[in-house]
Amino acid sequence: MKKTGVANLPLHYGKAPRWLFSRMERLSREIICAIIIDKGTKEVLKRLSDPFWFQAFGSILGFDWHSSGLTTTVCGAVKSGFKEISKEYGFYIAGGKGRTSRRTPEEIETVSNIVGLNPKPLIYASRMAAKVDTSGIQDGYQIYHHAFFFTDSGEWTVVQQGMNETSRYARRYHWLGEKVENFVCEPHSGIECEKTSSILNLVAEESDKARKVITSVSKEEPEKVIKELKRINELHLPAEHPVKLSQIRPDRIKKILISTYERVPEDFETLLGMRGVGPKTIRALSLISELTYGVQPSFTDPARFSFAHGGKDGHPYPVNKKVYDESINFLKEAVNKAKIGDTDKLKLLKKLHSMFR
């Protein structure tokens, strides 16, 4: 898949009650164990990277199907539920919401040291995914949740979410490591959302020339770049232009431009990954690329447009605890039997899946 993975969800207040979250932990664990036994850890990563499957997964677990909280709660339930058995299955989860997301590199390194992995490529993937969805795609959503799923053989998936404070909508971004050929050119793994808008999209395939020019501009004399920015500030762009001049203060980004000039980034990925290079620096360089050199980046939003156990807020109906517990027990028994070679129940689940398909 070469498309960008995004899901838009409205903000809902409140959190999963303990009686529901504890069941989400157990059911999510048994579902993932069943997939690993049947098809391996790579299949779990593939499914988590699919925004449609992830949404269905959250609905099966009984969370609000159209809520922004589905992302954080599902990832939290999987991380908590799998904590004691991660080593047994070779499947690990790092990161989470808010301050927990900032501990992702530390958590990746801890696991890597235990299982004998080189943590650097995984930490780099985690950091670049966050950088791309913050600065490479400027769609008005501030990343506040970052979950990094990985295996003991080094495969990975990222599920992260940003919030738009104005619209009160969240947007979810999905990455699948094995499909990422280039971190800054169509790196995501699927698409799902309700509405799109005109944004600055520097990881679109059609932004390739813009990425090269932006990198080139970042290596020019800082004074020359600042001079161009001040000149552009005097122009009057169309009101609907995705990059707003009011968001750029030339004097404030001079320090960063001195850094890029001195370090001479070899390509856009290196530039984007540099410490201190954020959305405003990228916006400024993009403007120069477009208005001075005539190279326009993509302004196309990379987004496009189940109820097994009910939902936390009573939609489409209240969670049925008895049915929920029966599902957990059925899956738990199926997983335990599969471990000793009895796969009858897993085969039954497969038959049900094929019937619904």
How far from 356 is each of 36, 82, 167, 301, 321, CA to CA, in Å?
A: 21, 28, 36, 33, 24
Residue-wise DSSP of 167-196: TTEEEEEEEEGGG-S-TTSS-------S--
Higher-confidence residue of 302 and 262: namely: 262
Residue 356: which pLDDT band, with cuts at 50, 70 and 90?
A: very low
pLDDT tens digits for 229-238?
Answer: 887 766 555 4
Helices (H) and strands (E) in the chain, counts: 14, 8
- Main-chain dihedrals φ then ψ at residue 157, nearest 5 degrees: -140, 145
**Residue partners of 211: CB distance under 8 A and separation at least 6:** 184, 185, 202, 267, 268, 297
Threshold 0.75, pTM exceeds:
yes
pLDDT of residue 315: 41
User: Average pLDDT of the chain?
Assistant: 81
- Are 62 and 7 in contact, with CB atoms under 8 Å apart? no
Lowest mean pLDDT among 23-32, 188-197, 314-323: 314-323
Higher-confidence residue of 79 and 348: namely: 79
Does residue 352 have a pLDDT over 70?
Answer: no
DSSP three-state, residue 9: strand
Residue 305: which pLDDT band, with cuts at 50, 70 and 90?
A: very low
Higher-confidence residue of 343 and 76: namely: 76
Most confident of 14-18, 33-37, 199-203, 265-269: 265-269
